[in-house]
Chain A
Amino acid sequence: MTDRLRQLVPDLEPLDLWQVHREALRRRRRQHLVIAVALVSALALVVGATIRWWPRAILAEPAATPTSMTPTATTCPTPVPRNGVFEIAGYASGIYWNGGDFYVLEPTLTAEPGKRIGTVPCNIVDIQDKARAIWRGSWPDGSSTATRVGAAIAVQKGSPESCRIAVDMGKGKWGVFQSKEC
């Protein structure tokens, strides 16, 4: 019976196995590429989530033996590459104030600047990116990753200074920064 049914199957032209093989290799390469892209994206997300709040320089404790520093007129630190290795930090908008880390809240809260309490002495991004190095010591009060040197720092009306401050972001705009302790 099997033979009689099999006779009904038409003669089918064999496949080009070389073409099949080539297509399989092409698909496998594409799969590997997709996996690699997914892994890199996942890695980038993890790294981004880890450093999204603040540059490592701000969060780091002062080094036991600070990297060499050349004092400048503004007393901003000048980091130098360690062992000749360049480093680039990831940044989020923040300001170092009264020994604490403050992060920008805009646009969730409108700034209402009150009494001026200081100015920004150092722009952390400019300094570190120029040096291609990360300062692992502490930064002077008011140092910021978000605004220019000389920008005014004021209290935020209705909030304690230890919790929220308003900072001049330039072009007449102010931003509200909140301490991570609040």
Chain B
Amino acid sequence: MALNDFEELVVREQAGVLRLAWALTGNPEDARDLAQEALIRAFTKQRLVLRAKVPRAYLRTIVLNTWRSQRRRPESPRAEVPDSPTEDAIALERQALVAALAQLPQQQRAVVALRHLDDLSVRETAAALGCSEQTVTTQTARALDRLRSNPVLRDLVEV
């Protein structure tokens, strides 16, 4: 059965949506739950998604709104604990990233997630967040400054 435009969009963007969800939640299980809930919501309003100026950005907006609506209280850093210390060579950096992201304000966290983990352009990020491109640039710079203050991440975030 041929996929319609919306289904094609979801198939194409699913990996990005999952990456964004991981950046927002900090662990794979919550990320899958968030992505699934967001995509269900997107399915129920697929005409709006397809009519949006930047459909892939609107899909991210739904993810962000779902995430915001699910947050009940300020979170503490909650990185996943690897099964064994040697299993994942980048586990330490990953935990540091999750902890650092959790310390960022919502907007900066979303900007980093969209720009650097989900790989959206400045224009698409601005569309997803409903702000100007200038704001995206400013928020990105501030967020990266804060990430650089983490010694584990300093090298990763160097330009």
Contact = CB atoms under 8 A, between A and B. Distances in A.
Given A5-B117, A20-B40, A31-B44, A14 B18 contact: yes
Nearest to B98: A8
30 contacts: A1-B156, A1-B158, A1-B159, A2-B115, A2-B116, A4-B156, A5-B156, A6-B117, A7-B90, A8-B94, A8-B97, A8-B156, A9-B22, A9-B117, A10-B22, A10-B80, A10-B94, A12-B19, A12-B28, A13-B28, A14-B14, A14-B18, A15-B35, A20-B36, A21-B7, A23-B40, A24-B39, A24-B43, A27-B44, A28-B44
Contacts of A27: 40, 44
Interface of A: 1-2, 4-10, 12-15, 17, 19-21, 23-25, 27-28, 31
Given A15-B14, A15-B35, A27-B40, 7 more contacts: A1-B116, A2-B116, A5-B112, A5-B156, A6-B19, A6-B116, A9-B22
Interface string B17-48: 01100110000100110011001110110000
A9 B90 CA distance: 10
> Main SS of the interface on chain B?
helix
A12 B44 contact: no
Given A1-B159, A20-B39, A13 B32 contact: yes
Interface of B: 7, 10-11, 14-15, 18-19, 22-23, 28, 31-32, 35-36, 39-41, 43-44, 80, 90, 93-94, 97, 112, 115-117, 119, 156-159
Contacts of B36: 15, 19-20
A28 B93 CA distance: 42
Contacts of A19: 36
Given A1-B156, A15-B35, A17-B11, A9 B19 contact: yes
Nearest to B41: A24
Contacts of A23: 40
A1 B148 CA distance: 12
Given A6-B19, A7-B90, A10-B22, A15 B39 contact: yes
Given A5-B97, A6-B116, A17-B7, A12 B31 contact: yes
A6 B120 CA distance: 12
B44 A17 contact: no
A5 B113 CA distance: 10
Contact of B44 (A2, A14, A24): A24
A91 B139 CA distance: 66
B28 to A, nearest CB: 5
A140 B11 CA distance: 75
A14 B116 contact: no
Contacts of B32: 12-13, 15
Nearest to B39: A20
Contacts of B117: 5-6, 9
Contact of A8 (B18, B43, B90): B90
Contacts of B23: 9
